[in-house]
Amino acid sequence: MNRNLDIGVAGLGRMGKRHVHTLLYRTPRAKVVAVENKEYREFRIAVYSSYEEMLAHPGLNAVWISTSTDVHASQSLAAIGKGLHVLCEKPLSTDLAEVQSVIHAARANPSIKVMAGFSRRFDASYRDTSDKIFNQNAIGKPFMVRSNTCDLRDESGFFVKYAARNGGIFVDCAIHDIDLSLWFLDNPVPKACWAAGTLQHHPELQQLSDVDNAVGIVEFWGGKIAYFYCSRTQAHGHDVCTEVTGTEGKLMVNVLPRKNNVILADKLGMRHEVQPEYWERFEDAFAREANEFVDAVVNDKPVPIPLETGIKVMKIGWALQQALLTGKVSLFSESGELLDG
């Protein structure tokens, strides 16, 4: 029996190439097939000119979808339709109905593994945080989460070019922070949220009704709170920080981000460099994600993150984005349904 998994990577942008790297270098039971990339020629990977052709690759078992968000759902559905397992970059879609359609397809095909890539769930520090909260009771009852996703300012034009498809700063950028808050606050139900934003560096975003820096608060039913800061304009690097406060303590993840273990002391004082991108921060998490996904498929286990998680996260992201645009408080029912403004 072949316990290995032949995976095709869809989308060879910046992240897609990294996923190929992860599969080649760090996922021994996966075999990458069906992508085009000169750099990896010595690994003899097949080449296809369209997603559909790739899906027809002989022996293909799974796809890793790393295209732009607007085709995530349709590509996922196509793969499920062919009986292929799916690991899809978050979010499945910026449209809730589309997300729901993927969930329906997945439920209708229970032998197929479908997972949305909330990569931070695989990060060693966040897992340690979860372990300290839920297994070691290190901070008592958690009730407050602060979480940031702050990107290095992109001077290349890349970010603005693709901004139109990303659903807005809270949907695109805070989605991981929202997910972390649900994780560490033990699946609370949202009650109300509000947000404020500003445009400091990418005036092109104005016509997309978006901003490049925003803060938001989510109040949950039961006295729990999360608040977020998202930014596209940091000067110093990719700065992703999360704090969880409980009744008996606080856990802080990455409050002083650092590229490596080096400090330079010179006339300016003492300094360390910061990772430029989330890849440097989360490279190990992506490797663990790939291995756990492969393991779930090969050994027919549940995927580590249920697809439904994505729905909850998206609803909150969308409500924050709405608050940002309207200036009004977004309210939810006690079952977590967004109420009309």
- Is 129 a binding residue for its own copies by CB under 8 A? The answer is yes
Give the one residue of 188, 197, 310, 317 binding its own copies; rule: CB under 8 A: 197
C-beta contacts of 216-220 below 8 A and 24+ residues apart: 216/170, 216/174, 216/320, 216/323, 216/324, 217/193, 218/178, 218/181, 218/190, 218/192, 218/193, 218/316, 218/320, 219/190, 219/191, 219/192, 219/193, 220/185, 220/188, 220/189, 220/190, 220/191
Q: Of 51-59, 109-117, 131-139, 178-186, which segment contacts its own copies by CB under 8 A?
A: 131-139
Residues numbered 309-338 forming contacts with its own copies, rule: CB under 8 A: 327-329
Q: How far apart are the first and last CA of the chain?
A: 56
Least Å distance, CB 71 to its own copies, is 29
Tell me which DSSP letter residue 293 carries: H
Count of residues engaged in binding its own copies, rule: CB under 8 A: 80
The correct pick among 56, 124, 164, 339 for binding its own copies (CB under 8 A) is 124
For its own copies, which residue of 43, 53, 157, 341 counts as binding (CB under 8 A)? Answer: 43
Contacts of 14 (CB under 8 A, 6+ apart): none
Q: Could you say which of 125, 221, 304, 336 contacts its own copies (CB under 8 A)?
A: 125
Of 20-28, 104-112, 162-170, 202-210, which segment contacts its own copies by CB under 8 A?
A: 20-28
Q: Confirm or reject binding of residue 57 to its own copies (CB under 8 A).
A: no
Residue selected from 229, 286, 318, 332 as contacting its own copies according to rule CB under 8 A: 229
Residue 225 as a binder of its own copies (CB under 8 A): the answer is: yes
Q: Which of 248, 211, 246 is nearest to 230 (CA)?
A: 211
Residue 98 or 123: the one with the smaller Cβ distance to its own copies is 123
From 77-85, 97-105, 109-117, 218-226, span contacting its own copies (CB under 8 A):
218-226
Tell me which amino acid residue 187 is: N
Place of tokens 């931070």: 120
CA–CA distance, 26 with 89 (Å, rounded to integer): 18
Identify which range of 27-35, 78-86, 169-177, 182-190 contacts its own copies by CB under 8 A: 27-35
Burial category of 220 from C-beta neighbours within 10 Å (exposed 0-12, middle 13-18, buried 19 and up): buried
- Per CB under 8 A, 7 contacts its own copies: no
**Contacts to its own copies from residues 240-279, by CB under 8 A:** 245, 247-274
Q: How far is CA 246 from CA 129, 135, 250, 305, in A?
A: 12, 14, 6, 24
Alpha carbon distance 189, 64 (integer Å): 31
Q: Minimum Å distance from CB 112 to its own copies?
A: 22
105 versus 218: smaller Cβ distance to its own copies:
218
Which residues is 65 bridged to in the sheet?
10, 88
Per CB under 8 A, 37 contacts its own copies = no
Taking CB under 8 A as the criterion, the residue among 46, 71, 160, 201 binding its own copies is 201
Phi, psi of 234 (to 5 degrees): -70, 145
Distance in Å, CB of 143 to its own copies, minimum: 6
Q: Which is nearer to its own copies, 259 or 312 (CB)?
A: 259
The whole-angstrom separation of Cα 72 and Cα 65 is 7
* Contact set for its own copies, span 139-158 (CB under 8 A): 139-141, 143-144, 146
In whole angstroms, how close is the CB of 20 to its own copies at the nearest point? 11
Tell me how far, at minimum, the Cβ of 84 lies from its own copies, in Å. Answer: 22
50 versus 260: smaller Cβ distance to its own copies: 260
The first and second tokens of residue 147, run together, are 């979480």
